[in-house]
């Protein structure tokens, strides 16, 4: 049960970017006369790669635009929002400090591409916090496929069973569990039945850290 690394998802775990992602999609599609809602985004695109998101909207609404162009439009809108208004999720810095002090390696495994990662890490000053950064942009398949998590474990030089994953979406949870990794769900709706396959569930990172401060049975300090 002992873990040697923590792998963080980014959107919704590190940064409060889900509303920014959704608004970027809503505004981008509005330019084509299509009205979507935040709920539509949550149901159809949450946790997916930007290329998949663009293809979903182009297919769903038969948009008169190449999916690559919609992808660039959404990304431009998103990164502008992140650079100006992006905020860290509750407990992020305390969690990063806690795991680092425990001697664990820290990695990122996100569906977001490298451009978005740069916008987030620049905004939140995170470049020195992570040992490994992995994007599903570099994989054949994005989440819910486990590829990005398997790559993170490989770059950490660890077995998947040595890794603890922190996720906020069902898509990400599915990916991490498929990679045979212990997974914590951290989100306001953590009690929903769809998250029952998670090993642990918390309202936010503060609750996770407090639990591990009181008892850290899963953590092993790296030499």
Spatial distance between the Cα atoms of 145 and 171, rounded to a whole number of angstroms: 9
Catalytic residue, chosen from 11, 147, 162, 168, is 11
203-221 b/e with 16+ CB inside 10 Å = b?
Answer: ebbbbbbeebeeeeebbee
Please give the full DSSP string across 118-172, using - where no structure is assigned. Answer: HHHHHHHT-TTT-SEEEEGGGSSS-TTSSHHHHHHHHHHT--GGGEEEEE-SHHH
Catalytic residue among 9, 147, 162, 168: 9
Annotated active-site residue 11? The verdict is yes
Is 112 exposed, middle or buried (CB count within 10 Å of its CB: 0-12, 13-18, 19+)?
buried
- Let me know if 206 is a catalytic residue: no
**Angle 97-156-108 (CA atoms, 0-180°, nearest 5)?**
55
Name which of 50, 47, 46, 70 is nearest 58 in CA terms: 70
Q: Which residues are catalytic?
A: 9, 11
């Amino acid at each position: 049960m002992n873990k040697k690394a923590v792998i963080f998802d980014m959107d919704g775990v590190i940064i409060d970017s889900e509303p920014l992602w959704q608004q970027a999609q809503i505004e981008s599609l509005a330019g084509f006369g299509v009205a979507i809602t935040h709920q539509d985004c949550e149901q159809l695109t949450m946790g997916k790669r930007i290329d998949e998101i663009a293809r979903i909207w182009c297919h769903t609404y038969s948009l008169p635009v190449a999916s690559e162009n919609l992808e660039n439009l959404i990304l431009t809108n998103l990164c502008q929002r992140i650079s100006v208004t992006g905020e860290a999720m509750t407990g992020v810095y305390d969690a990063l400090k806690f795991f680092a002090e425990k001697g664990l390696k820290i990695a990122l495994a996100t569906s977001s591409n490298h451009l978005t990662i740069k916008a987030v890490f620049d905004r939140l000053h995170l470049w020195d916090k992570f040992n490994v950064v992995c994007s599903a942009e570099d994989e054949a398949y994005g989440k819910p496929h486990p590829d990005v998590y398997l790559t993170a474990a490989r770059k950490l030089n660890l077995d998947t069973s040595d890794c603890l994953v922190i996720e906020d979406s069902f898509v990400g949870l599915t990916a991490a569990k498929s990679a045979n990794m212990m997974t914590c769900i951290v989100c306001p709706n953590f009690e929903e039945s769809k998250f029952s396959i998670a090993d642990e569930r918390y309202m936010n990172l503060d609750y996770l850290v407090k639990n591990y401060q009181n008892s850290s049975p899963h953590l092993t300090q790296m030499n």
